[in-house]
A and B are shown apart, each in its own frame.
Chain A
Amino acid sequence: MAEDTTAYAHPERLVTTKWLAERIAAGDTGPGKGIVIVESDEDVLLYDTGHLPTSFKLDWHQDLNDPVTRDYVDSEQFARVMTARGIGRDTTVIVYGDKSNWWAAYALWVMTLFGHEDVRLLDGGRSKWIAEGRELTRDVPEVTPATGEAAYPVVERDDTPIRAFKDDVLAHLGKPLVDVRSPGEFTGELLHMPDYPQEGAVRGGHIPGAKSVPWARAANDDGTFKSRPELEAIYLEEQGLSPDDDVVAYCRIGERSSHTWFVLTHLLGFPTVRNYDGSWTEWGNAVRVPIER
């Protein structure tokens, strides 16, 4: 992470491993406390092999996706998922995970759909915590789920500000789009992500006018985010985006683009960024949508 985190547009959205370790040691974290830590990984068992003390698992697939419809859980289910982790509406939630916080950013984005105010990422995620030799445990915190007023409220999910659907993207054509997939997926050479052949599409290429900025360019080797000047060099100078732009980011199912959504929204301060979670697995399989190669 940049030496000076205050340089980011919304520095309060990132916490350091050192800060979090101090909060854990001070007993400030855990169910019902002011801070609750959740781990969100690609591998559903990684949390079970050892996790940050007092943290809970928040699986992107099992906990945040609807089991039948291709959509996120509804408001009642979201409230249950939060309450089961001792999270209240005003809890500070710290999300961390594997793969440079790729899935953690996705979980943060989904929590933002439900308007959870204070949700932050642990910069560097799981790998940085482990690389620094910090404590892991297999203990899962015990929760007595809150009831009544104390339980997480059933809130209306508002997709409009940060989520784009296929029709929104069709109406958006001509305005800035960021394709965060690998170069091979962008050009249409690959119909799936390298090493993920099971999530393919019948057509290859990209949405017309999209700029190719693979998501991982925003991350350092240790999984932390690049500094604000480095990020500005990529997104503003090289790609010509401006904070006033109305931007849509997409990838394959909306997880990698959540990482870019976080960078543009919280680190660079773009007020109008939407994540198209239908992404290439919808666009590349849809009939008669325009495709550029």
Chain B
Amino acid sequence: MPESLAEIAADFREATPSERLQLLLEFSDELPELPQRYADAPEQLEQVHECQSPLFLAVEVDRQPGVDTADQRVDIFFSAPPEAPTTRGFAGILHEGLSGRTVAEVLGTADEAPMQFGLAEAVSPLRLRGMVAMLSRIKRQTALKSAVPGP
């Protein structure tokens, strides 16, 4: 996984299970609001049905001229209600760890990366499946959008 995500994973693993919950709550609290262009156009967001609470996301891949597709920047946007803090926390981790990274880094993130945070014992493996689904949809959208030929 990209270094940014690996650092977060290390912070979680070093914490006790109850500290992990507090850390997850911080990511939930700090999840950025949707930019206006998505808030006004919710149909452009993809719903992650595997989450137990409504979670929507969007992925943008940059088109810098003269830059290889693999090195283009990926931005990720999330929307989840405040009454779903666990889902927001998962989104917050992925936002902090993957948004702003390159196409190659996002696509190179292992599907099982969500298992590297020691969260299964803090929130239960069942709840973690939502985070696995978010990552797989982020990767799918990144692959789709980076495959489109540039202008």
- Which residues of A does B touch, CB under 8 Å? 42-46, 48-49, 61-62, 98, 195-199
Contact = CB atoms under 8 A, between A and B. Distances in A.
B50 A43 contact: no
29 contacts: A42-B52, A43-B52, A43-B83, A43-B87, A44-B21, A44-B122, A44-B127, A45-B21, A45-B24, A45-B25, A45-B28, A45-B89, A45-B123, A46-B83, A46-B85, A48-B25, A48-B85, A49-B25, A49-B85, A61-B124, A61-B127, A62-B122, A98-B83, A195-B49, A195-B52, A196-B52, A197-B49, A197-B50, A199-B126
B82 interface: yes
Given A45-B28, A48-B22, A195-B54, 15 more contacts: A42-B52, A43-B83, A43-B86, A43-B87, A44-B123, A45-B24, A45-B85, A45-B86, A45-B89, A48-B21, A48-B85, A49-B82, A62-B122, A62-B123, A195-B52
B56 to A, nearest CB: 13
Majority-rule SS of B interface residues? helix
A46 B129 CA distance: 18
A-B CB proximity, top 4 nearest: A45-B85, A61-B124, A45-B86, A198-B129
A61 B125 CA distance: 10
Instruction: Assign chain B's interface to a size class.
Output: 20 to 34
A61 B124 CA distance: 7
B144 interface: no
Nearest to B127: A44
Interface of B: 21-22, 24-25, 28, 49-50, 52-54, 82-87, 89, 122-124, 126-127, 129
A43 B126 contact: no
Contacts of A98: 83
Chain A at the B interface: SS class: loop
A81 to B, nearest CB: 14
Contacts of B83: 43, 46, 98
A42 to B, nearest CB: 6
A61 B84 CA distance: 16
A44 B111 CA distance: 24
Nearest to A127: B83
Contacts of B50: 197-198
A43 B25 CA distance: 12
Nearest to B85: A45
A45 B85 CA distance: 6
A233 B89 CA distance: 43
Contacts of A43: 52-53, 83-87
Contacts of A45: 21, 24-25, 28, 85-86, 89, 123
A181 B121 CA distance: 28
Contacts of B122: 44, 62
A43 B126 CA distance: 12
B50 to A, nearest CB: 6
A151 B118 CA distance: 31
A44 B130 CA distance: 14
Nearest to A42: B52
Contacts of A48: 21-22, 25, 85
B127 to A, nearest CB: 7
A198 B126 CA distance: 8
Contact of B126 (A46, A49, A61): A61
Nearest to A65: B124
Contacts of A199: 126
Contacts of B84: 43
A197 B48 CA distance: 11
A197 B126 CA distance: 11
